[in-house]
């Protein structure tokens, strides 16, 4: 029986995960600043506003300095703790970095204004979060150690309880259940929180996406079981692949022992603001609409499906999608049932796609699949397919140590590489995360990005199209009037594009 009668604490994710889930992480700092003071006045437990894909998106698409985003928002929101998502040894990048890079990145994040570090590892290999946890604690931050929730024959409540105890032993301040694919069901959420509450002395924070339509029931089950904090998104950027609406949880707890105490009228004002902001990013809207209950069976997140669709379209093989969706669970089983979250979702999805397109399983093995099997991402949860291991391991040796133990310190090398193109340690860390993208950013920083002509983003047909792509309306009107020719510049290179009726 839950005896928790403390007010429910709420983390608002509109400044990070909501627009990452719905708008391709394109929200600009300029659209956050006008509402910042009202967000600060609500009384949230924290505002998740950094980490994840925001760092990459700032320098790749928005021509913004991600470090500066934290500083300018902090000035407007001094009262509410700022929270970031950190991928353990990956920081905000897509590979393992040496310990000296991780330590500097975490310390600098604390210096610019991050208060709460939510730290996870895609494989739930807790060795991969140790350095980040230790550094964040040393820097005076609050640390949320994560369990990446997934469903498989090797994942169960006893396993999660064991992980939670290890997270406590590491010195974390909060335990986070990170349900990134929306796989939780209420009949699991309640018992999981109940069992963890019995043995774990830390506050428990639930992060669950709305993709499968069960988020509201999961939240209520967790609240009844005594969860301390939940992640929500302001209603105008909620649901779909995003999160359950903040206002719904506030209304549902009003007048109960878990009353959040937040002001619904103020939240409605904030929602109205973001309803207008969302219109600015219509061209980045996710194609995912409504609910996808099939994810409970396939366990494939919506974003992963859209990525595979793009891969297949590029190969003129969109008709193979159903085959690929059936192949994904088989590849996941072969790889020991990793949770499907960055980067393992991309690894499994790409390998499944190749298996189908080549007509032979593992005829071509991606570099990432190879490294995953060899242990270079960490320890996989279950047993690997022996034939696959034999095929890969005959060339290289499997490792069983923490992957970062094999990496030499990188800071001096990176500093020398980037030279005076980096103006600060922040720039050097940006370069460490994304070398090629960072160099381009250093050239364009502070300069207005050229506006693309109508339909440029779709016409050039390449990923990484200009961030300031226009809405589709002008292109539609031009097309209806007959063919029109535009000159479009992509990364400084001119292209001639003709837009006409389909």
pLDDT score of 41 more than 80 = yes
Give the confidence band of 9 by pLDDT, cuts at 50, 70, 90. Answer: very high
Residue 446 CB coordination number (10 Å): 7
300-405 has which fold?
Cyclin A; domain 1 (1.10.472)
Residue 48: strand, helix, or coil = strand
Q: Which residue has the tokens 């094999």?
A: 406
pLDDT for 464 equals 36
Q: Is there a contact between 46 and 82 (Cβ–Cβ < 8 Å)?
A: yes
Q: What is the pLDDT of residues 241-252, one digit of tens each?
A: 899 999 999 999
Residues 384-388 have a mean pLDDT of 95
For the cut 70, the answer to whether the pLDDT of residue 378 exceeds it is yes
pLDDT band at 62, cuts 50/70/90? very high
pLDDT at residue 108 greater than cutoff 50: yes
pLDDT digits (tens, 9 = 90+) for 293-315: 888 877 776 667 766 777 788 88
pLDDT at 302: 60
Task: Look at residues 56, 186, 207 and name the one whose alpha carbon lies nearest to residue 120.
Answer: 207
pLDDT for 135: 98
Q: Is 363 exposed, middle or buried (0-12, 13-18, 19+ CB in 10 A)?
A: exposed
pTM for the complete prediction?
0.87
Instruction: Determine the Cα–Cα distance for residues 374 and 56; give it in Å rounded to an integer.
Output: 27
Q: In angstroms, rounded to a whole number, what is the distance separating the alpha carbons of residues 297 and 283? A: 30
- Indicate the average pLDDT of the chain: 89
Instruction: Confirm whether 9-284 and 300-405 share one CATH topology.
Output: no
Which segments within 79-180 are labelled E, that is strand?
82-86, 116-119, 142-148, 174-179
- For position 304, what pLDDT does the model report? 73
Confidence check: pLDDT of 343 > 70: yes
pLDDT digits (tens, 9 = 90+) for 409-447: 999 999 999 999 999 999 999 999 999 999 999 999 988
Closest residue by Cα to residue 262 from 84, 31, 80: 80
Q: Locate the domains of the chain by residue range.
A: 9-284, 300-405, 410-444, 456-499
- C-alpha span between 130 and 143 (Å, rounded): 11
Task: List, in order, residues 6 or more apart from 223 with CB less than 8 Å away.
Answer: 8, 230, 253, 258
Q: Is the pLDDT of residue 498 over 90?
A: no
Distance CA 119, CA 227 (A): 19
Question: Looking at the predicted structure, is the pLDDT value of residue 407 above 60?
Answer: yes
Determine what percent of the chain is predicted with pLDDT higher than 70.
88
Q: How far is residue 221's CA from residue 186's CA, in Å, rounded to a whole number?
A: 6
Query: What local confidence, expressed as pLDDT, does residue 478 receive?
Result: 33
Cβ atoms 16, 232 nearer than 8 A:
no
Q: Determine the angle formed by the axes of helices 264-279 and 246-253, rounding to 10 degrees.
A: 170
Fold type of domain 9-284: TIM Barrel (3.20.20)
Q: How far apart (Å, rounded) are the C-alpha atoms in residues 257 and 255?
A: 7
What confidence tier does 476 reach under pLDDT thresholds 50, 70, 90? very low
Tell me which residue has tokens 């009949």: 187
Q: What is the pLDDT of residue 94?
A: 87
Contact 418, 429 (CB under 8 A): no
Is residue 462's pLDDT more than 50? no
pLDDT tens for 176-230 read: 999 998 999 999 999 999 999 999 999 999 999 999 999 999 999 999 999 999 9
Q: What is the average pLDDT across 478-490?
A: 50
| Angle made by CA atoms 41, 245, 281, in degrees to the nearest 5 | 85
In Å, how far are 26, 53, 56, 242 from 61, measured between CA atoms? 8, 11, 8, 21
For residue 343, cis peptide bond before it (omega within 30 degrees of 0): yes
Please report which helix (H) or strand (E) contains residue 312, including its range: helix 302-314
* Percent of the chain surpassing pLDDT 90: 76
Q: State the pLDDT at residue 294.
A: 80
Predicted confidence band at 481 (pLDDT cuts at 50, 70, 90)?
very low
């Amino acid at each position: 029986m839950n005896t928790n009668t403390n007010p429910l604490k709420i983390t608002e994710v509109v400044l990070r995960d909501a627009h990452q889930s719905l708008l391709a992480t394109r929200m600009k700092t300029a659209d956050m600043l006008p509402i910042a003071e009202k967000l600060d006045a609500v009384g949230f437990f924290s505002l998740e506003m950094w980490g994840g894909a925001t760092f990459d998106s700032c320098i790749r698409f928005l021509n913004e300095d991600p470090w500066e985003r934290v500083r300018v928002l902090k000035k407007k929101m001094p009262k509410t703790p700022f929270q970031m998502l950190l991928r353990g040894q990956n920081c905000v990048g897509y590979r393992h970095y040496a310990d000296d890079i991780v330590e500097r990145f975490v310390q600098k994040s604390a210096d610019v204004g991050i208060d709460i570090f939510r730290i996870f590892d895609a494989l739930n290999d807790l060795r991969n979060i140790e350095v980040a946890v230790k550094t964040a604690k040393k820097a005076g931050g609050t640390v949320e150690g994560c369990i990446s929730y997934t469903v498989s024959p090797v994942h169960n409540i006893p396993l999660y309880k064991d992980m939670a105890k290890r997270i406590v032993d590491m010195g974390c301040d909060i335990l986070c259940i990170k349900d990134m694919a929306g796989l939780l069901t209420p009949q699991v959420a309640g018992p999981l929180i109940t069992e963890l509450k019995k043995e774990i002395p830390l506050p428990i924070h639930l992060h669950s996406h709305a993709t499968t339509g069960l988020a509201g029931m999961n939240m209520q089950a967790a609240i009844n079981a005594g969860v301390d904090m939940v992640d929500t998104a302001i209603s105008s950027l909620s649901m779909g692949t995003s999160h359950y609406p903040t206002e719904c949880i506030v209304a549902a707890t009003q007048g109960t022992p878990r009353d959040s105490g937040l002001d619904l009228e103020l939240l409605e004002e904030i929602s109205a603001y973001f309803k207008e902001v969302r219109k600015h990013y219509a061209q980045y809207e996710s194609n995912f609409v409504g609910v996808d209950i099939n994810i409970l069976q396939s366990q494939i997140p919506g974003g992963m499906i859209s990525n595979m669709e793009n891969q297949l379209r590029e190969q003129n093989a969109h008709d193979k999608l159903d085959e690929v969706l059936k192949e994904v669970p088989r590849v996941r089983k072969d790889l020991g049932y990793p949770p499907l979250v960055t980067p393992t979702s991309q690894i499994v999805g790409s390998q499944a796609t190749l298996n189908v397109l080549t007509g032979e399983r593992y005829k071509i093995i991606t570099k990432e699949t190879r490294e995953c099997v060899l242990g270079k991402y960490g320890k996989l949860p279950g047993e690997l397919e022996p034939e696959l291991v034999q095929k890969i391991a005959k060339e290289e040796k499997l490792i069983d140590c923490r992957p970062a133990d094999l990496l030499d310190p990188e800071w001096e090398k990176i500093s020398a590489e980037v030279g005076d193109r980096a103006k600060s340690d922040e720039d050097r860390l940006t370069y460490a995360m994304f070398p090629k993208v960072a160099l381009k950013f250093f050239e364009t920083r502070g300069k207005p990005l050229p506006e693309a002509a109508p339909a440029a983003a779709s016409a050039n047909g390449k990923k990484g199209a200009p961030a300031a792509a226009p809405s589709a309306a002008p292109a539609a009107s031009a097309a209806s009037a007959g063919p029109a020719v535009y000159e479009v510049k992509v990364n400084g290179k001119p292209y001639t594009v003709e837009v006409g009726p389909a």
